[in-house]
Amino acid sequence: MANEKTQLANIPQYDPNLEPVVDINGIKKLLPHRPPFLMVDRIVSMSKEEVVGIKTIGVNEGYFIGHFPEEPVMPGVLIIESMAQVGGILVLSDLDEPEKYSTYFAKIDNAKFKRKVVPGDVIVIKMRLTAPLRRSIVCMRGEVYVGNTLACEADMVAQVIKNK
């Protein structure tokens, strides 16, 4: 019973009544992504080591046309991308002049998909630093939840590069 309570305590809870820490306009200042490839709607909490972002999955997302017409499912690669974007916000928000940098995947390990993400879901994306930014490399652990259910998890390594 205690283990179950501990697990639930580690699941980020999203309250849509609270103001976001970073809204969509702030996200656009930090990330170069734009619709239809912007995979985070708001940041609801952020510290030096952890960030929680939200993405509302609407039926009008373009990928649902072909994935799959009769049973729409968010592609796993886009769930991973949403994790990367939220992680990028964490890393870039701590830099001076973040608009001059971009983050790029270097490695993805231990990716597991545990639940389908479908239209109407609100995914809660938690990214935690597992190693600080050093020599332009950063390591993170990500979890994506729908409600209290873990939908996806992965370990990621990214490189932070100054734009030309």
Would residue 67 show up in a list of annotated catalytic residues for this protein? yes
Catalytic-role residue among 33, 67, 115, 128: 67
Contacts (Cβ under 8 Å, ≥6 apart) of 16? none
> Taken in order 41, 148, 116, 77, is the CA torsion positive or negative?
positive
C-alpha distances (whole Å) from 86 to each of 30, 57, 65, 67, 124 are 10, 15, 25, 23, 10
Helix, strand, coil abundance in the chain, percent, nearest 5:
25, 40, 40
Residues with active-site annotation: 67
